[in-house]
Amino acid sequence: MSESTTPSSTVLLRRGEVHSPADPFATAMVVERGQVAWVGSEGAADAFADGVDEVIDLDGALVTPAFTDAHVHTTATGLALTGLDLSGAPTREAALALVRDFAAARPDDRVLLGHGWDAARWPDGQPPTRAELDAATGGRPLYLSRIDVHSAVVTTALLDLAPGDLARGDGPLTGDAHHAVRAAALGAVTPAQRTAAQCAALAHAASLGIGTVHECAGPEISSEDDLTGLLRLSAEEPGPRVIGYWAEQDVDKARELGAVGAAGDLFVDGSLGSHTACLHRPYADAGHTGTAHLDTTAVAAHVVACTEAGLQAGFHAIGDAAVGAVVEGVRAAADKIGLARVRAARHRIEHAEMLTPETVAAFAELGLTASVQPAFDALWGGEDGMYAQRLGAERARTLNPFAALLRAGVPLAFGSDSPVTPLDPWGTVRAAAFHRTPEHRVSVRAAFTAHTRGGWRAIGRDDAGVLVPGVPADYAVWRTDELVVQAPDDRVARWSTDPRSGTPGLPDLTPGRELPVCLRTVVGGRTVFVRPGE
């Protein structure tokens, strides 16, 4: 397959499988002026062949809408791709060895950056101490974020660079102390390094069939320059679309920076892994209930301000107490300015892991979008996972109830929270369809929709994320095995290849099977990735 030149060219794709609700048996598609112009059968494609600029022979490949990752930290993702990755370290000692090797290989870096350690998965359950890290780096500044990015271990030299008088114990830093050391570490990254990291992250996303990312930026996460630089890069260079969110209670600032919402990781609480998610009952493995950052009154005021300004509000809420505070705050805002206005604004909740039947019903009532990360369950769910360690098995089994949300009519948008979990769209769909708690599973079709059309709906666009005439030509081409249709009932998930179902097929994502391989990604009619050799 050759590479299309410009979004203004007319392209016919044929001899494949086109996943389109307009025609469940479509094998061809025409793209014109950056939009889908036609989908249909191979026989009808002959009528278009002489009038297009390019014909792409799919050779049996599958064409789907490009994925939307609804929660990404782009620069951090790029830095993780190019920096020290500790996610595979099996022990604390192995992690320290990786730190030593990384420091030796980067003698000129002002600050050493790493990510992904998870002491909960190590035999001794203990993170590296500051003294161990000082020794491993030879006394250089080092920032190592935990896998959930809500805490970090650092060296003495990095503490010396951070403002204020930070506590100097050996434990991981959380809350304001963590934000201070993260700002110091990222402040040492040059603009050129930052741009290179953003380019690396967006190129990697494109190689996975991701056409759009929702950048969840904020003053405690990145910086204003980081967000504006990323949005400028996306506008000027071919690649995935970037939709910006700014997590601050300042509507004017969000608009000034080009964000579509004062939303994203506007923290109501922290994370379960770092014991900072805010709970109604104490952690099973700690004698407290986590950390609350915003109360109901603050949530209500922010929702009112955003709604009146025509922007989305949104909050990071994981624990049941935090999710409850958001729901009550949004309800209070609806009481003040009207439920219809609040629903129309499509405000968002990021993560929304600990839900009750009452909060699920409230999401539906208030028109809230659940921006969720199925890979969290794949990584931390199950009887022996981190969730069970933190909450006990009974509470852990209630987490991430995707099926209940869908049954209630709550819009779902899937994302990765990369670099917390990797950019991996088909893996994300698989994680939702094969949730570790069977009653929370959804069909592959519903999960795929949440990871394609769901991301567009989450920004107020109902006209995109599917391959039908008139929509943006954001699509990906995949090499995959036979397509199937999942026909779930309340107990089991069955698979069917019967064409009489009239439902477009999708790859078989049964665990253990190979995931589809992206051959090409196109955004707005412009090719942004072609797999080498294709």
pLDDT digits 0-9 by tens, 464-510: 999 999 999 999 999 999 888 754 444 333 444 444 456 788 999 99
> Could you check whether the bond before residue 419 is cis, i.e. omega within 30 degrees of 0?
yes
- Please say if the pLDDT value at position 387 is more than 80: yes
Task: Please indicate, yes or no, whether residues 119 and 268 belong to a single structural domain of this protein.
Answer: no
**Which residue segment(s) compose the domain that 211 sits in?**
191-459
pTM of the model: 0.90
- Please say if the pLDDT value at position 171 is more than 90: no
pLDDT band at 534 (very low <50, low <70, confident <90, very high): confident
Contact present, 37 and 475 (Cβ < 8 Å): no
- Please say if the pLDDT value at position 520 is more than 70: yes
Helix (H), strand (E), coil (C) string for 321-387 = HHHHHHHHHHHHHHHHHCHHHHHHHCCEEEECCCCCHHHHHHHHHHCCEEEECHHHHHHHCCCCCHH
Task: Please indicate, yes or no, whether residues 428 and 522 belong to a single structural domain of this protein.
Answer: no
Across 91-119, average pLDDT: 92
C-alpha–C-alpha distance, residues 198 and 195, integer Å = 5
pLDDT at 476: 98
The CATH number assigned to the domain holding 114 equals 3.10.310.70
pLDDT > 90 fraction of the chain, expressed in percent and rounded? 79
Across 81-90, average pLDDT: 90
Question: Burial level of 467, CB count in 10 A (0-12/13-18/19+)?
Answer: buried
pLDDT at 292: 95
Q: Does any domain span residue 492?
A: no
Task: Please indicate, yes or no, whether residues 472 and 341 belong to a single structural domain of this protein.
Answer: no
Query: Smallest Cα–Cα separation from 418: which of 51, 186, 4, 73?
Result: 73
The mean pLDDT value of the chain amounts to 92
Task: Please indicate, yes or no, whether residues 200 and 294 belong to a single structural domain of this protein.
Answer: yes
The CATH number assigned to the domain holding 59 equals 2.30.40.10
pLDDT > 70 fraction of the chain, expressed in percent and rounded? 95
Q: Does any domain span residue 397?
A: yes
Task: Please indicate, yes or no, whether residues 36 and 153 belong to a single structural domain of this protein.
Answer: no
From 188, 220, 251, give the residue that closes a domain: 188
pLDDT at 168: 67
Contact present, 12 and 473 (Cβ < 8 Å): no
Task: Please indicate, yes or no, whether residues 205 and 226 belong to a single structural domain of this protein.
Answer: yes
Q: Does any domain span residue 487?
A: no
Contact present, 328 and 295 (Cβ < 8 Å): no
Q: Hey, what amino acid is at 226?
A: D
pLDDT band at 182 (very low <50, low <70, confident <90, very high): confident
Q: Does any domain span residue 511?
A: no
- Please say if the pLDDT value at position 214 is more than 70: yes
Angle between helices 357-366 and 320-337 (to 10 degrees): 30
Tokens representing residue 207 in the block:
């190689």
Q: Does any domain span residue 499?
A: no
End-to-end CA distance of the chain: 5
pLDDT at 200: 96
Across 225-244, average pLDDT: 97
pLDDT digits 0-9 by tens, 336-364: 999 999 999 999 999 999 999 999 999 99
Task: Please indicate, yes or no, whether residues 356 and 306 belong to a single structural domain of this protein.
Answer: yes
The CATH number assigned to the domain holding 356 equals 3.20.20.140
pLDDT band at 220 (very low <50, low <70, confident <90, very high): confident
pLDDT digits 0-9 by tens, 237-296: 999 999 999 999 999 999 999 999 999 999 999 999 999 999 999 999 999 999 999 999
Task: Please indicate, yes or no, whether residues 441 and 525 belong to a single structural domain of this protein.
Answer: no
Task: Please indicate, yes or no, whether residues 42 and 141 belong to a single structural domain of this protein.
Answer: no
Query: Smallest Cα–Cα separation from 60: which of 14, 106, 98?
Result: 14
Task: Please indicate, yes or no, whether residues 223 and 251 belong to a single structural domain of this protein.
Answer: yes
- Please say if the pLDDT value at position 526 is more than 90: yes
Q: Does any domain span residue 156?
A: yes
Q: Does any domain span residue 447?
A: yes
Task: Count the domains in the chain.
Answer: 3
